[in-house]
A and B are shown apart, each in its own frame.
Chain A
Amino acid sequence: MRVALGGAEDAGPSGVDRDRDVARLVRSTYARRDVACGSPECVAHAELNAALGVCDFLRSREQGCRAYVVPDLCAFRKYPEVFASGVVRDVIASRAHARRLGGRSGGGGSGGLPSMTRSIKGDSRAMGKNRSVFVFDDEHCVEVVRAMRSSSISREVACAAHYAKKVRGKFPIVVVSDAQAANAANAADDVGARDVFPEGVVVLSVEGFIEQFCGGSEGEAARAAYEAARDAEDEMEGDSAVASTSTGTNYEAHWNERDVELGLSEGVLVKGVLKVKALGVKCEGHVDGVFIPSKHAMNRAMHGDVVAVEVAPESEWCASMINTVLEDEGVRESDLSASVSSSPKTRTGKIVGILRREVMDVVACLDSIDEEEITRNPHAKRNGALCVPMDGKIVKIKLLTRRANELVGKRFVVRVDRWRENQRYPNGHLIRVLGDVGDVDGEMAALLARHEIPAEPFGARALAELPREGTNWVVPREELETRRDLRHHRACSIDPPGCTDVDDALSVRAVPQSERGANGGAFEIGVHIADVSYFVQPGTTLDHEAQTRGTTVYLVDRRLDMLPSLLSENLASLLEKRDRLAMSCVWTLDENLDVVDVWFGRTVIHSRHQMTYYQAQAIYDGKPPPVDGSTVFEGEDDIAVVREDLKTLVAFANKTNAIRVAHGAVELESAELRFETDAQTKSPTEVIQKSEVPMMRVVAELMILANSAAARATHSVFPSCALLRRHAPPRQDGFAELSRLAATKGVKLDCSSGEALNASLARIANECDPEVTTLFKGLATRAMSEAQYVSSGSISATESSFGHYGLALTYYTHFTSPIRRYADIVVHRQLIAAVEATEMEKKATEDATRRGLDSLAEHLNERNRASKRAQSRCGEIYLLWLLRENPMIEPAVVHEIRDDGLMVFLPSFHIKAPVRLVDDDGNTVEELRESDLVDVSPGYNSSESVTKWVQASPVVGVAGTRLRRSDDVLEVVRSSDGVVLRSYSLLQTVWVQMTCKPGRAQGPKLELRILDVEAHAGAREARLVARRAAPPPAPASLSAALKNVIKSRNPLAMDEDDAGDDLDTDENRDERVARHLNVPSKRLRDPLAASLAGLALMDDVFITVDDSPMDALRVVPINLSRVSDSKEFAARRAACDAWARFVSTRSAGAAGRARSARRSQRLEDAHARVADVKRARNSHLL
């Protein structure tokens, strides 16, 4: 009694004495019949399985299943590579096992099953990879619970017996368990009684299972995985035998799971993602701001892992040693002495536990030393080789395989298994071979594998769900009856040349006078989006495939479709002159192009023309359209009609764009590399600069508008589960580097709001070279946070609004490209439910979607990021391929100064790259001179008069010179007397030669060398001239476009100064604005005024603020020739003041909104005055 009492009192939060306490835990469990079994053979649970979407985890006999496999805990632990990686199909895991395995810390384990359990929950990371294991909730299944209670059979056998009843003897249920198989064998020897197991259940050891059930090509992979895992096991036993005497690296043991949890909750440990900065002799990383100084402190964690860090006492803190351009590659020993630490000491710590391994599959090739040895002696018996991952931030891996000699010169995928304390490198086993190193096909396969982009063709089951008619499919009658028929609207699609997956079409219809309703709708502008959700029903295999892929990936040489080509290129694609199903968004506009109504719904449309951007632009400009597309125009009349439509579209788009810009939309840029490729060899022949025509922006603007309208519509109906796209405002520290750079140019960068940033960037564009401007825009884009999909009900989204910062919209989503993005399909479904379903159905939809939407959004974000990364890396590979034969000379801007070189930015490719200025011995490298270059122009087809050069001399430093670095200047100094030979300063434009440096492990790399300032002045000049001669057509300025619109509508309006608008300097603009606004020009210094000025510069535009719930901004044309009217001036100023107040309260956030009541009164006054002026003006005109 005393002991019990004492125990209770001692049980404080210290946790030290906890071990002595014994707490009796009683848990009640409810066993039930309706537990999903995931088997298509099961009749009783068919409905339940379908509702949960777990029909395709296990197969039926018809689908080729030979046995269901139930491995025991030991088999899962020992061979996760076999049972939990999709090699063996139709695996059933008990939930009890799954939980026990999933709870294990990632420290020494391979983490096979955690990924599996996550896959079943719908986790983004493993989604689709592992649909071969079904976690069966045996703990709550009444049959299993009863069977285990009544007889002494194991959990696995009880599960198997449960399944055996379901499949009714069509195929066996195999329990894979070494221990039970041995027991059974003993029992069989003794009594000869095999009937200890229920009917239809077979118990086999792992080896026996592999032998019996893994034959043929399907079983090959399983067999290989089993052998690799077994070898690893043997190896480890061998290791542990010598562990005590091992002289290799000895890492500290990880803390056990409970201590880590305790440490985290008490704040002793810090949890975060490890970001490796460098590996090799000098090894550094960061976890959430804590510096990890050495390999030992990193303690077997790998890049991207979620880890727990113990922060060291302050006396042991140290500073980062690395500040060189070569940080990606690992630092050579010579650099260690050279780099004197300049950065301050930071929080330092060491990793004590790995909470989750991020890295599982790694693309790698053999280490060069091992490879040499293997080629020298190919037949020696060895059971492993060291391999080097392609990602320089991941450590080398000890690959356990007996087939190392087949891997020479190949790239392959390795799965990381375990990393014990006494091992220098982690173990891994081979998954698959991708291709040859350096070969473009091999590199592309490696690229896809690295970004986990599924490249295999669609499965037969998915293809079977396509319409049976194939390409002969026509719109079925019942769809024609239920949908709104918009075939009489003139719809056209505008896309890039060669586009086959037409997502969107646009239509304009002037409403005849007789049909106009009370709201005065004069135009109907429609954005019609392919109705993919009709073909891809939720819960189908096709839907699942599309979801797994997430997005179509556009690579230079291929396109990896999200949907089968029958859908993406034909049935769903809005091809011209065919009836197609669409999801339409139709705006009704009044005469002033103000939106009076929006309608969403399912429609049938008939596209008249499938135009390219260039055709549309030519028609709009009044030129004959080029014949670069497939569409045919029937004579001038046809073109004239299309032109009228385009005019309305352009006017509408410009107007909405002006509103967004006024609200602070930031227009940023990033480059996309395009290549002209040779048709036969597929090798790139030329880099194409993206040539932009204004029509692209117009189409984009209309899509943005449709997206935001769809977002608003879904959010209003499903406030807790709308899939939105959110772009958080940028963190200010992201702009620190940018501000510092700008300061060197004497420009103060104001990033406090979108408007201010726009104004600052505009100022930079005015003052600096175009290259520098591109750099700033590029950096600003990088500083922005990434737009992401979120569910509006998720907790993370409630922390701030769902708004899209870059586009300055309160709600935004993706709706307009369902053929190539899965998110759009989801939004389509939600929108259909929102506009068509009854209240009950809406509620049901909401409940059904809310659960999965968060993880779905995360999955789509991840897929999006992966495809973006793959696309840009693919562009780089092609660029390097091109550079291999034709080195280029390009201007570059210095944007960072490092100890041993510069980071430069190449504006023409939007690439940041290092230029190393010292060689391996620490001597500085000479600039490239004319004499170093060899002209290889003969075979080169020179349409430009630029000579191409290849590098003749190797990179050798000049002895006796060294680098001296100050804050924003890097100087090359002669060591003997300290004379400065050359210097490079921040934001200086230099000319560099781009070449391709072949790299084995990490693929080819871009190498830059700076050209001598004096050399090749002529060639560079020619290059510049060539560039200036054919500048990409500048996007039409909005004010100009708006002017055109207004002119066409109001022929009386006269232009004061229609030319030279864009050339105006900042001062002139200020002055003019001041003149027009009749405000003291000092006010324009206000950051707010910049955006105001931008708007007011559209000379003949009058801005008023509409206090409607939409926060709409009204743009009213006024007659410039009457501006002298003093009354009008007063009104204009009043309106501008109101607008300014409006913007300032908006940016003030909650406080500002609180003042809105007072504001509205003032606004009303302003409106009254505006109305006065309008009346006055009208009387003038009359």
Chain B
Amino acid sequence: MEYVSFEGLRLDGRRANEIRRPRHAFAIDAQCDGSARFELGNTVIECRVDGPSERKFGGAEEGASEACALTCSHGRSAFASDGVQAGRKGDGRSKQFESVLAKALTSAVCVDLMPRCEVQVRTTVLCDDGGARAASACAAVLALADAGIPLKGIIGSCTVGHLDGEALIDVNRDEERGRGPELWTCALSAGDVPDDDENEDDGEDHLMGATGNHITVIVEELERGKTTMETFKSMHDLALAGCETSARYLRISLRARTRALAATRALEKF
């Protein structure tokens, strides 16, 4: 199967460095403290956040960390993907995903501000068209922000695959089936979009320059193909760029959300 055409177009018409169209919605579930839906093309993720609330267990023991604990749980709807179940709740793969996501999010949350608290993050894959892990991380960031959890920065996340000798960002389901090496990356972007919204166009340069001390979490599934150092390097470079792009999207959407909220409260300028 040919994944990248002669012209450099992928199966769904994107180029190697193009991410699927992202969409988002805030406060989809009034029952919890914060929630968000994030979509990447046909991949749809919902995330619910509870907290910060008093730590129910684990906090009482002697010597336990004072800081806020962030736990993640990951679920999939039965109809998330066609045919084969990619992973059920509680299997090794989703366990690993939960712990990695918790680690990544903890790095972005100001845990010291909420001592002896806990935050629960629940992600659900409603539809999986590839890249569910990256989309879940993005959804979690939006939901955390919606819940009003203080964040140090925005975590951007993306997956990168390698097929037909080329690193491809944001692989979809068809491309995931190509069984190439895959890389899931979360990176904390400390940069900020400029305050005045007029020059959003040149925000990119600003952003790229502002990546200071980012924290990166990488999950590799490289054993699928023979991955050379060069392959990995090209994938990694693309992944970091991709994280930056998705972080920018999240930041802009959060800003728009805040502005909308402010408008409803008749605040003049936020």
Which residues of chain B are near A1110, meaning CB under 8 Å?
Answer: none
B9 and A35 form a contact (CB under 8 A): yes
A: contact size bracket: 20 to 34
Q: Identify the closest chain B residue to A48 (Cβ).
A: B7
B9 and A26 form a contact (CB under 8 A): no
Task: Report the stretch among B12-20, B182-190, B194-202, B204-212 that lies at the interface.
Answer: B12-20
Which residues of chain A are near B220, meaning CB under 8 Å?
Answer: none
If the complex has contacts A36-B7, A121-B6, are A11 and B165 also in contact, measured as CB distance less than 8 A?
Answer: no
A1034 on interface, CB distance cutoff 8 Å: no
A23 and B7 form a contact (CB under 8 A): no
B2 on interface, CB distance cutoff 8 Å: yes
In the assembled complex, the CB of B172 is this many whole angstroms from the nearest CB of chain A, namely 8
B6 is contacted by which of A8, A32, A120 (Cβ under 8 Å)?
A120
Q: Identify the closest chain B residue to A38 (Cβ).
A: B7
B129 on interface, CB distance cutoff 8 Å: yes
What CA separation (Å) do A32 and B226 show in the bound complex? Answer: 33
B230 and A28 form a contact (CB under 8 A): no
A31 and B13 form a contact (CB under 8 A): yes
Which residues of chain A are near B112, meaning CB under 8 Å?
Answer: none
Map CB proximity to A onto B21-50 as digits: 1 under 8 Å, 0 otherwise.
100000000000000000001100000000
What CA separation (Å) do A793 and B6 show in the bound complex? Answer: 19
Q: Which of B42, B82, B165, B230 has the most CB of A within 10 A?
A: B165
Majority secondary structure of chain A interface residues (helix, strand, loop or mixed): loop
Which residues of chain A are near B172, meaning CB under 8 Å?
Answer: 28
A244 on interface, CB distance cutoff 8 Å: no
In the assembled complex, the CB of B76 is this many whole angstroms from the nearest CB of chain A, namely 13
B83 on interface, CB distance cutoff 8 Å: yes
If the complex has contacts A139-B13, A795-B226, are A28 and B129 also in contact, measured as CB distance less than 8 A?
Answer: yes
What CA separation (Å) do A312 and B166 show in the bound complex? Answer: 41
A1085 on interface, CB distance cutoff 8 Å: no
Map CB proximity to B onto A24-48 as digits: 1 under 8 Å, 0 otherwise.
1111111110011000000000000
A26 and B13 form a contact (CB under 8 A): no
B64 on interface, CB distance cutoff 8 Å: no
- B 210-242 contacts with A by CB, 8 A: 225-226, 228, 230
B42 and A26 form a contact (CB under 8 A): yes
Q: Identify the closest chain B residue to A7 (Cβ).
A: B83
Q: Which of A27, A120, A137 has the most CB of B within 10 A?
A: A27
What CA separation (Å) do A98 and B174 show in the bound complex? Answer: 19
Map CB proximity to B onto A708-722 as digits: 1 under 8 Å, 0 otherwise.
000000000001100
A122 on interface, CB distance cutoff 8 Å: yes
B266 on interface, CB distance cutoff 8 Å: no
Q: Which of B2, B6, B174 has the most CB of A within 10 A?
A: B6
A23 is contacted by which of B9, B83, B166 (Cβ under 8 Å)?
B83
If the complex has contacts A28-B129, A851-B165, are A121 and B2 also in contact, measured as CB distance less than 8 A?
Answer: yes
In the assembled complex, the CB of B94 is this many whole angstroms from the nearest CB of chain A, namely 19
Q: Identify the closest chain A residue to B164 (Cβ).
A: A851
Which residues of chain B are near A120, meaning CB under 8 Å?
Answer: 6
- B 112-160 contacts with A by CB, 8 A: 129
What CA separation (Å) do A135 and B165 show in the bound complex? Answer: 21
B84 on interface, CB distance cutoff 8 Å: yes
Which residues of chain B are near A28, meaning CB under 8 Å?
Answer: 12, 20, 41-42, 129, 172
A29 and B165 form a contact (CB under 8 A): no
Map CB proximity to B onto A669-687 as digits: 1 under 8 Å, 0 otherwise.
0000000000000000000
What CA separation (Å) do A122 and B4 show in the bound complex? Answer: 13
Q: Which of B83, B129, B226 has the most CB of A within 10 A?
A: B83
Q: Identify the closest chain B residue to A32 (Cβ).
A: B13
A11 is contacted by which of B12, B78, B83 (Cβ under 8 Å)?
B83
B129 and A26 form a contact (CB under 8 A): yes
Q: Identify the closest chain B residue to A120 (Cβ).
A: B6
B5 on interface, CB distance cutoff 8 Å: yes
If the complex has contacts A140-B9, A798-B226, are A23 and B82 also in contact, measured as CB distance less than 8 A?
Answer: yes
- A 298-330 contacts with B by CB, 8 A: none
Interface size of B by CB at 8 A reads: 27
What CA separation (Å) do A11 and B84 show in the bound complex? Answer: 8
What CA separation (Å) do A933 and B21 show in the bound complex? Answer: 87
B9 and A29 form a contact (CB under 8 A): no
A410 on interface, CB distance cutoff 8 Å: no
Map CB proximity to A onto B62-77 as digits: 1 under 8 Å, 0 otherwise.
0000000000000000
B6 and A52 form a contact (CB under 8 A): yes
Q: Identify the closest chain B residue to A793 (Cβ).
A: B230
Which residues of chain B are near A25, meaning CB under 8 Å?
Answer: 82
- A 134-191 contacts with B by CB, 8 A: 135, 137, 139-140
What CA separation (Å) do A1032 and B41 show in the bound complex? Answer: 75
- B 163-194 contacts with A by CB, 8 A: 165-166, 172, 174
Which residues of chain B are near A24, meaning CB under 8 Å?
Answer: 82
If the complex has contacts A26-B129, A27-B12, A29-B13, are A35 and B7 also in contact, measured as CB distance less than 8 A?
Answer: yes
A719 is contacted by which of B14, B21, B84, B230 (Cβ under 8 Å)?
B230
Which residues of chain A are near B174, meaning CB under 8 Å?
Answer: 27
If the complex has contacts A26-B42, A851-B165, are A137 and B5 also in contact, measured as CB distance less than 8 A?
Answer: yes
If the complex has contacts A28-B42, A798-B228, are A140 and B13 also in contact, measured as CB distance less than 8 A?
Answer: yes
Map CB proximity to B onto A115-126 as digits: 1 under 8 Å, 0 otherwise.
000001110000
- A 718-738 contacts with B by CB, 8 A: 719-720
Which residues of chain B are near A95, meaning CB under 8 Å?
Answer: 5
Map CB proximity to B onto A1-24 as digits: 1 under 8 Å, 0 otherwise.
000000010010000000001011
In the assembled complex, the CB of A1045 is this many whole angstroms from the nearest CB of chain B, namely 43
Which residues of chain B are near A135, meaning CB under 8 Å?
Answer: 6
Which residues of chain B are near A489, meaning CB under 8 Å?
Answer: none
What CA separation (Å) do A850 and B230 show in the bound complex? Answer: 11
Which residues of chain B are near A719, meaning CB under 8 Å?
Answer: 230
What CA separation (Å) do A23 and B84 show in the bound complex? Answer: 10
Which residues of chain B are near A793, meaning CB under 8 Å?
Answer: 165, 228, 230
A443 on interface, CB distance cutoff 8 Å: no
What CA separation (Å) do A135 and B14 show in the bound complex? Answer: 18
What CA separation (Å) do A793 and B41 show in the bound complex? Answer: 33
If the complex has contacts A21-B83, A720-B230, A793-B228, are A30 and B6 also in contact, measured as CB distance less than 8 A?
Answer: no
In the assembled complex, the CB of B241 is this many whole angstroms from the nearest CB of chain A, namely 14
In the assembled complex, the CB of A124 is this many whole angstroms from the nearest CB of chain B, namely 14
A30 and B129 form a contact (CB under 8 A): no
Q: Identify the closest chain A residue to B12 (Cβ).
A: A29
What CA separation (Å) do A719 and B2 show in the bound complex? Answer: 25
What CA separation (Å) do A798 and B9 show in the bound complex? Answer: 27
What CA separation (Å) do A29 and B172 show in the bound complex? Answer: 11
If the complex has contacts A11-B84, A28-B129, are A720 and B228 also in contact, measured as CB distance less than 8 A?
Answer: yes
In the assembled complex, the CB of B132 is this many whole angstroms from the nearest CB of chain A, namely 15
What CA separation (Å) do A720 and B231 show in the bound complex? Answer: 9
B7 and A52 form a contact (CB under 8 A): yes
A30 and B12 form a contact (CB under 8 A): yes
Which residues of chain B are near A371, meaning CB under 8 Å?
Answer: none
In the assembled complex, the CB of B1 is this many whole angstroms from the nearest CB of chain A, namely 9
Which residues of chain B are near A798, meaning CB under 8 Å?
Answer: 226, 228
Which residues of chain A are near B6, meaning CB under 8 Å?
Answer: 52, 54, 120-122, 135
A645 on interface, CB distance cutoff 8 Å: no
Which residues of chain B are near A504, meaning CB under 8 Å?
Answer: none
A524 on interface, CB distance cutoff 8 Å: no
Q: Which 5 A-B pairs have the closest CB atoms?
A: A140-B13, A30-B13, A720-B230, A23-B82, A28-B41
Give chain B's interface residues, CB within 8 Å of chain A. Answer: 2, 5-9, 12-14, 18, 20-21, 41-42, 78, 82-84, 129, 165-166, 172, 174, 225-226, 228, 230
21 CB < 8 A contacts A-B: A21-B83, A23-B82, A24-B82, A27-B174, A28-B12, A28-B42, A28-B129, A29-B12, A29-B13, A30-B14, A30-B18, A30-B20, A32-B9, A95-B5, A120-B6, A140-B9, A140-B13, A793-B228, A795-B228, A798-B228, A851-B166
Task: Knowing that A54-B6, A137-B7 touch, tell me 19 more A-B residue pairs with CB under 8 angstroms.
Answer: A8-B78, A26-B42, A28-B20, A28-B41, A30-B12, A30-B20, A30-B21, A32-B9, A32-B13, A35-B7, A95-B5, A120-B6, A121-B2, A122-B6, A719-B230, A720-B230, A793-B228, A793-B230, A795-B225
